[in-house]
Amino acid sequence: MWSYIAQQLINALSYGSILGLLAVGYTMIYGILGLINFAHGEIFMIGAFACYLLSAHWNLPWIVCATGAVLASTAVGVMLQRFVYKPCQKRKASVLTMFIASFAASLGLRFFFLMLYTDDRKPFPIPEIFDTMYFVGDVAIGFRDIAIFISTIVVMLLLTYFIRYTKIGIAMRAVSFDLRTAEHMGVSSEKIIVAAFVIGSLLAGLSAIEYGLSFGVVNPSMGFLPGLSGFIAAVIGGIGNVPGAMLGGYLIGVGEVLFVAALPTEYSPLRPLFVWALLLIILFLKPSGLFRPNVKFEGTWEN
Amino acid sequence: MDLTKHLKFLVVIAIIICIILLMEKSLTGLMISVIVLFAINAIVCLGVSITNSYTNIFSLGFGGIMLVAGYTSALLTLPVTYKAAVLHLPSWLESAHWAFAPAIIVSGVVAVLASVILVLPAFRLSGHYFILASLGINLVMANLGINLSKFTHGAMGIRNIPFYTNLWWVFGFLALTVIFIWRLKRSKFGRALITIGKDNTLAATLGINVVRYKIYSFIIGSFIVGIGGALWVHYIGAMHPHVFDLLFVFMIVAMLALGGSNTISGAITGAAIITFFIQLARPIQEGFTLSGVTVPPLQGLIQVLIAIMLVLVMIYRPDGIFYREPKINWLIGRNKTKDKPR
């Protein structure tokens, strides 16, 4: 029994890492633009796809594919900002308009890949080193789980340092808290928005590689559910709060996996319901999330 | 003056009836199906526009609500033998074999109940959080549709649903909806909803009970949307949990955004443009050979094109085609309108 739970926990930690990295992207962009970047799940999907394509078509070494994945995600994120959100902002569009635009961008990207590659599951390239298993008692720990967890923790620490102590990081937090005042203090909000998209999409690409390593498949609609869970993780962690988003990701990942593990198997298709139930409970009890949000007016747009 | 007004209305209605009759006699099956789908989409758009643009609570949950209405109507009208063979229903539901009209009304009422139960807790949220929670309604409903296989036959879906919907039903309901919303927007009640949409705080200071009116707007909207769902089900004749999924929701949002979401003419125009575009572009998507050049089938091209179009509309004309109602004073018999239509 205990070994079963421990085994599930190890799976949960990988899933939580994936969600945590996604949540950071959401939280940064939401904090700065006040916009749910609905296309974030598709940025994630494109990262995984780039890795698959590079490896399947050109047979490149894995590390090159992985780098390509991160670069592809970043490029898509920046292009979305440049060609969708920036023109909207320039015309002083309302947040709702931008949300519909991001909804459209998300569906458009997903169907573009569906059009080219159909919705079949494709194998994600996994180097042999990740297949190594270690055994602690009855519990099997794959090298991939360790790699995913450690790389996530390292990235999180780096990011925390970046957000806390570097000049851009401080400027980002300032813009996230109050854009107008930050601009008065001489922060160029345009640069900060681009920086937020770069970092968020980069982390989404990293998260896509982790997803591929842990599930081994790629398909065009893979981004939707992790994307939503990632956003919920960002809300739970307090919007704009980067470490909070990471913790929120782990909370949802662990909660979701343990929820499925605890229930009898005939209820396991109900897994998506858990996330929504958790979201609603947390939003009712503490609408600002579990940790302190870093935005002045959150969760609402007044006309 | 009053007499001519009524006369004009009667003439317009007569012309519309003649057009429908003409369409029924002369058009082929494919064109009729496109027109029926357009009318159903227009009904859904009008229902959605009450909550999403008049009251300005942007909700994506209407897919789940249509699912509830569709299943209700299907279960009430299915042949008894089919129900006994495939589903495991309580006996009163299993023996029910209703006519179309009561079934469609009841399914609208059930949609209202479902939406109130689902949306009421979400009213504590606002803005993006509310959108997210309403998106959850879709996922939760589709999930329940898969898992409550006693009622819904799981992911396999229900077949043999009687084909009741025809041009008369859809255009009848479309006309009723248009007249209802037209009257609503000029009533005290509708103006209260629009005021809430413009500014919550202002509405509250004017003595409007904001939460109560928001719930009312959801009740009206989900009733219309539910009727749209029921009409759809009886037109297609089959039902499964993923029919009103995110793609359907996206199409409705695109129709509203393209046409202009806060006018009746906008909702109808948007529904028309996108429904006909989907049908026209379908042959391109299937792949074709043009003067020796073979274009491979590209499933999903339509959705990509609509998405690109929607992004462009959002950038360059976020209010849609019809921001204001076009002037139809000749029909309603006013010389100068003091109260500007929105």
Residue B275, domain CATH: 1.10.3470
Closest in B126, B139, B310 to A276, CB measured: B139
Least confident of A19-23, A96-100, B167-171, B285-289: B285-289
Residue B339 lies in a domain: no
Residue A297 lies in a domain: no
Instruction: Give how many domains chain B has, as a whole number.
Output: 1
Are B16 and B175 spatial neighbours (Cβ–Cβ below 8 Å)?
yes
Residue B342 lies in a domain: no
Higher pLDDT, B70 or B118: B70
Categorize the per-residue pLDDT at B334 as very low, low, confident or very high, splitting at 50, 70 and 90: low
Q: Which amino acid is at B238?
A: A
% of chain A surpassing 70 pLDDT: 96
Residue B108 structural domain: 2-286+295-332
Q: How much is the average pLDDT of B12-19?
A: 86
Instruction: Give how many domains chain A has, as a whole number.
Output: 1
pLDDT at B85: 82
**CA-based radius of gyration for chain B:** 21
B112 to chain A, any CB pair closer than 8 A? The answer is no
Token representation of residue B48: 């959605």
Which tens digits make up the pLDDT trace of B209-219? 988 999 999 99
Beta partners for B102?
Answer: none
Compute the nearest-CA separation of B247 from chain A (Å): 8
Least confident of A24-33, A135-144, B100-109, B265-274: A135-144
Are B208 and B192 spatial neighbours (Cβ–Cβ below 8 Å)?
yes
Which tens digits make up the pLDDT trace of A212-271? 998 888 988 888 888 888 888 888 888 778 888 889 999 888 888 887 777 777 777 777
φ, ψ at A291 (rounded to 5°)? -115, 170
Residue A175 structural domain: 2-118+147-285
Residue A249, domain CATH: 1.10.3470
Instruction: Check A104 against B314: CB less than 8 A apart.
Output: yes
pLDDT at A237: 84
Strands A139-142 and A133-136: antiparallel
Categorize the per-residue pLDDT at B229 as very low, low, confident or very high, splitting at 50, 70 and 90: very high
Compute the nearest-CA separation of A33 from chain B (Å): 12
Q: Which amino acid is at B150?
A: K
Instruction: Check A104 against B133: CB less than 8 A apart.
Output: no
For B134, name the nearest residue in chain A, comparing CA atoms only.
A276
Residue B106 lies in a domain: yes
Compute the nearest-CA separation of B234 from chain A (Å): 28
B122 to chain A, any CB pair closer than 8 A? The answer is yes
Instruction: Check B147 against A270: CB less than 8 A apart.
Output: yes
% of chain B surpassing 70 pLDDT: 93
Best residue in B58, B126, B141, B304 to probe A by mutation, most A CBs within 10 Å?
A: B304
Average pLDDT, chain B: 85
Are B267 and B45 spatial neighbours (Cβ–Cβ below 8 Å)?
yes
Say how far apart CA B130 and CA B117 lie, in whole Å: 15
Alpha-carbon distance values, B41 to A270, B44, B200 (Å): 30, 5, 29
Residue B210 lies in a domain: yes
Are B56 and B195 spatial neighbours (Cβ–Cβ below 8 Å)?
no
Which tens digits make up the pLDDT trace of B232-259? 999 988 888 888 888 899 999 999 999 8
pTM for this prediction: 0.88
Higher pLDDT, A236 or B50: B50
For A235, name the nearest residue in chain B, comparing CA atoms only.
B129
Categorize the per-residue pLDDT at A298 as very low, low, confident or very high, splitting at 50, 70 and 90: very low
* Token pair 């909660």: residue: A255
Which tens digits make up the pLDDT trace of A43-97? 999 999 999 999 988 888 888 999 999 999 999 999 999 999 999 888 888 888 8
Closest in B139, B143, B314 to A97, CB measured: B314
